[in-house]
Amino acid sequence: MEFTENLSSNRKSAEERAAVLADPGFGDFFTDHTVVVDWSAGSEAGTGQWHDARVEPYGPIAMDPAASVLHYGQEIFEGLKAYRHEDGSVWTFRPHANAARLNKSAARLALPQLDEDVFVDSLRKIVATDIDWVPTGDGEALYLRPFMIATEAFLGVRAAREVSYRVIASPAGNYFGGELKPVGIWVSKNYARAGRGGTGSAKCGGNYAASLVAQLEAEENGCKQVLFLDSFNDNAVEELGGMNVFFVTKDGSLVTPALTGTILEGVTRSSVIQLAKDRGMNVEERKITLDEWRDSVASGDITEVFACGTAAVITPIGVLKNGEELIGDENAPAGEVTMSIREELLGIQRGTVEDRHGWLERL
Ligand code: COI
């Protein structure tokens, strides 16, 4: 697809950009441009077309107040990163996996399918346009946020006939801020994230909106993230507010909740599983309950717990707070297996470890 270009006459200066890149944090700063492709439904089902692919200056979106995304939340998104290698080249990680997941989310949210090549081209376009924004620091990258919104102005509840796909980019360091260290997690007892037949496996804004009250509760209790249990009341571990969860066991296995349709199919999650299998580790995707977590930490059968996601990379979990109960140790150092898988994954992404699976794509 050809993208037309309307470049910003108001780009940040080299000094302003350098100030941001010196300490990018997560999600607070944005590059100078955005990529947009619009979609309109055809007169017959299945004849909708993507059109007007373009690069625009980054800025507010003019939208009709009746646009259905504002009322019914018909929206999906993705998250992936662009990494700068030592020779200056810029790469991304498994973009076709994100493209495929975007289309699964689109199908669930009654949004149109986007050709995988258009998705990857849109990443190439924003990175090429804002290449100077790709950080060079250790553990830093340019976070890419593709998203799709229903822009048609109407108040009836039905799938929109006008949609917009966009990509914005934000230089990113550690998601949790500062140096990497084990985080505390709060168990949500009052709120579930997803139900049977719901949108739990889709990457849609509504899932994250529904997690926010529990995330607030977590923060009030001194925790960085919230853990959701399944909504069928048997206390099976699902995922955190914005990331998947893994356990390392004494016998060297890796355990993670199985994909049941209510859990996000993380690209980092599947990469971690592959890297662990490459090391000869036994990987179990299965149900793990809060009781098993508690008992196995107490008996020493679970030795490490970590969270993973594009934004979080791999972040060690120190303690799980279940009301007054503490499971794990707030002050425990990051686990060895956790850190070693993290280093390997980051190494592949940064081009310092062999990319055995062909996961990198040059932008
Ligand atoms: C990601 O890891 O890319 C996410 O989407 C998690 C969060 C920032 C929403």
* Model pLDDT for residues 289-302, shown as the tens digit of each residue: 999 999 999 999 99
The model's pLDDT over 164-184, given as tens digits with 9 standing for 90+, comes to 999 999 999 988 887 888 999
Query: What is the value of pTM for the model shown?
Result: 0.95
Identify the bridge partners of residue 210 per DSSP, sorted by sequence position. none
Quote the ipTM score.
0.94
For residue 352, what pLDDT is reported? 95
Ligand 1 centroid to 308 CA: how many Å? 10
Q: What is the tens place of the pLDDT at every residue in 260-314? A: 889 999 999 999 999 999 999 999 999 999 999 999 999 999 999 999 999 889 9
User: Pocket of ligand 1, candidates 265, 310, 313, 349: which has the most ligand atoms within 8 Å of its Cβ, to mutate?
Assistant: 310
Q: State the pLDDT at residue 233.
A: 67
Query: Which residues neighbour 327 within 8 Å (Cβ) at sequence distance 6 or greater?
Result: 293, 294, 297, 319, 320, 321
The Å distance, Cα 78 to ligand 1 centre, comes to: 8
Sign of CA dihedral 258, 264, 268, 274: positive
Confidence of residue 234 (pLDDT cuts 50, 70, 90): confident
User: d(Cα 87, Cα 322) in Å, to the nearest integer?
Assistant: 47
pLDDT tens figures, 32-74: 999 999 999 999 888 999 999 999 999 999 999 999 999 999 9
State pLDDT tens for residues 79-101.
999 999 999 999 999 999 999 99
